[in-house]
Structure 1
Amino acid sequence: MIKEFEKLPADDLDKIADIWLKSNLSAHHFIDASYWLEDNYAYVKEAFLTADIYLYYYENEIVGFLGIIDHYIAGIFLLEEFQSLGIGTQLLKKVQSEYTKLGLHVYEKNSHAVQFYLKNEFIIQKKALDINTNEIELFMEWTA
């Protein structure tokens, strides 16, 4: 079940921050863990307060979410045991039904995510070096 929140309930903040961290550490093994833990964790937790968050529940527990600010998808994050079950696709389709244009950044080395977005009709618009991680990042867009 998907629920949208413009203002995330306080008790869910720690849960999604934990999912965000675990997802990033797992998907981005090519980036030093300190980037997620020390450089971004507090910032992202704060950003959750202003983003629209689509939570995915399984048996009344949050197992994943999609965060979006305006038309920009900050990411789709799932607990590892819930990946590759179609949940990310459900979250993305929900957002695609509500917007006519979406954009996002994804690391080129995160080939699983790149293929996921290509499969869901996103187009690579730009490729650039992320100076914070020294990794190539792709900007992808989808239009209805």
Structure 2
Amino acid sequence: MIRKAKDAEHEQMVSIWLAASIEAHDGVEPGFWRSQRRDMKEKYLPSAENWVYVRDQAVLGFCSLQQNVLAALFVDPAHQGEGIGSLLLEHAKSIESRLELSVYSMNVRAVAFYERHGFGVMDERFDDMTGQWEKVMHLDHDPTEPPRQA
């Protein structure tokens, strides 16, 4: 089930974010992600509209929206590959049909995931904090608009 996150769940969400970030970004020192834990909990999550995927009263994944920006989408590594990320992304797309996001270029699995869900690369930029390149992606199609003519 997907529902709005409760403030009391932020710690669980941060734990998922941390575990998934360390696993997906082996080119970034785990200490960097750990150093960002407090900001994630006290700054980033409170500034976003957060949605959680819950099964048996456990938060297994979440997404965060800041208007039309998908600021975060993370699934507990133990539950990746179960379709939770797709459900969360479809939920975000139902709220905002014109989405933009940034994803580290090194995270080829995530880039492919977003491409499968209709996102295209708009730009690429360097993240000074991590020393990594990231792709800026946007949702290519608004389902309420007619198909583009070539």
Fold equivalence (TM over 0.5):
yes
- The superposition leaves residues 43-90 of structure 1 with CA deviations (integer Å, 9 ceiling, x where unpaired) of 111221121111001111111101111111112111112101111000
- The number of equivalent residue pairs is 140
Identity of aligned residues (%): 26
Distance 1:100 1:86 in 2: 20
Please tell me whether residue 118 in structure 1 is matched to residue 115 in structure 2.
Answer: yes
- SS of equivalent residue, structure 1 residue 128: strand
- CA RMSD after TM alignment: 1.1
Give structure 1 regions of 4+ aligned residues with deviation exceeding 2 angstroms: none
1:73-112 alignment runs, 5 A limit: 73-112=70-109
Distance 1:44 1:69 in 2: 14
1:16-55 alignment runs, 5 A limit: 16-38=13-35, 40-46=36-42, 47-55=44-52
Structure 1: tracts of 5 or more residues without a match: none
- SS of equivalent residue, structure 2 residue 85: helix
TM-score, normalised with respect to structure 2: 0.89
Q: CA deviation at 1:13?
A: 1.5
Please tell me whether residue 59 in structure 1 is matched to residue 59 in structure 2.
Answer: no
Distance 2:61 2:123 in 1: 28
Structure 2: tracts of 5 or more residues without a match: 143-150
TM-score, normalised with respect to structure 1: 0.92
2:39 aligned partner, one-letter code: Y
- The superposition leaves residues 78-111 of structure 1 with CA deviations (integer Å, 9 ceiling, x where unpaired) of 1112101111000000111111211110011100
Q: Give the aligned partner of residue 3 of structure 1.
A: 3
Q: Give the aligned partner of residue 136 of structure 1.
A: 133
Distance 2:40 2:131 in 1: 20
1:50 aligned partner, one-letter code: S
| Greater gyration radius | 2
